[in-house]
Amino acid sequence: MLKITVVALIIFALAVLMTMTGRGGGNFYVLTLVLAGLPMHEAATTGQFVLFTTAGAAMFIFRKGKTLSVPLALILGVLTAGMAFVGGFVAHSFSGGELKMVFSILLALAGGAMLFTAEKTKKEPKQKWGYWNLRTDNEIYVVNLWIAAPFTMATGFFSGMVGVSGGSFLVPLMVLACGVPMRIAVGTASAMVAATAFAGFMGHALHGSFNPTWAIPIAVITVFGGMLGGKIALKTKPKYLKTLFAVTTLIAALLMILNSGIGK
């Protein structure tokens, strides 16, 4: 019980930090659980369960703060969640070591994406097939569905397979490809992360890898981390934390690669 409590407190701290950037933190949750001794499949399932409850709590905070675009979250969220279920289901066709390597690659890509994410540029409305003009707080931003849809589906699939949220990819996607303001992207990503995590969790759970002894106590504690992180994010510019999280993500990728090598 002491071990679970310590892990829960670590994930609580991570939940606060990750929620502030709309990244969910599933990658760090899974890494923490693996380092705590859980098998990769159980760690992925537990990570998705904790991520769902944490992101769900943060979603209500962002919604209240008017930094969540419901239409955007619904369209991209459906694509992400559907592919996350498929990814979670087929994950059991791969060994734990293979999942760890995929996970490491995703972490490295996420770190690079956060490091090289450019600032949002103003985009004019486009009346073309495949472009969706959305208005939030009197500001119009353009969603390029030709880029957003396939990228979102791929993110959902691989995120569900290894038990992460995909938030590290969704925020840069919305800012760069869709022209969404950073605050709106962070808030909207929280809703999409929650949907992806739930779908991925169900895909994993169907194979019986759910461990309630670990998942439920940790989720109860970390849900408050999601709420706290959401409140702080409403008062903080996420771009100030971008470099920090990019570096920590790359460190997490390195740690998982080392863990995979030791496991062999």
- The C-alpha atoms of residue 88 and residue 228 are separated, in whole angstroms, by 29
- Give me the domain span that covers residue 158: 2-263
Task: Provide CB contacts within 8 A for 139, sequence distance 6+.
Answer: 181
pLDDT reported for residue 223:
92
pLDDT reported for residue 143:
80
- The C-alpha atoms of residue 196 and residue 130 are separated, in whole angstroms, by 23
pLDDT reported for residue 243:
72
Specify the number of domains making up the chain.
1
Q: Residue count of the chain, please give it.
A: 264
111-116 contact pairs (CB < 8 A, 24+): 111/168, 111/246, 111/247, 111/249, 111/250, 111/253, 112/246, 112/250, 113/168, 113/169, 113/172, 114/168, 114/172, 114/242, 114/243, 114/245, 114/246, 114/249, 115/242, 115/243, 115/246
Q: Per-residue pLDDT for the chain (264 aa), expressed as one digit of tens each?
A: 788 899 999 999 988 988 887 777 777 788 889 888 888 888 888 888 998 999 889 988 988 888 888 888 888 878 887 888 888 888 888 887 777 777 788 778 777 777 776 555 556 666 778 788 877 666 777 788 888 888 888 878 887 887 666 766 777 777 766 777 777 888 888 888 888 788 888 888 887 778 888 889 999 999 999 999 989 888 876 566 567 767 777 877 787 777 666 555
Angle between helices 145-162 and 182-205 (to 10 degrees): 40
pLDDT reported for residue 119:
55
Q: Is the pTM of this model over 0.75?
A: no
pLDDT reported for residue 9:
93
pLDDT reported for residue 12:
93
pLDDT reported for residue 227:
93
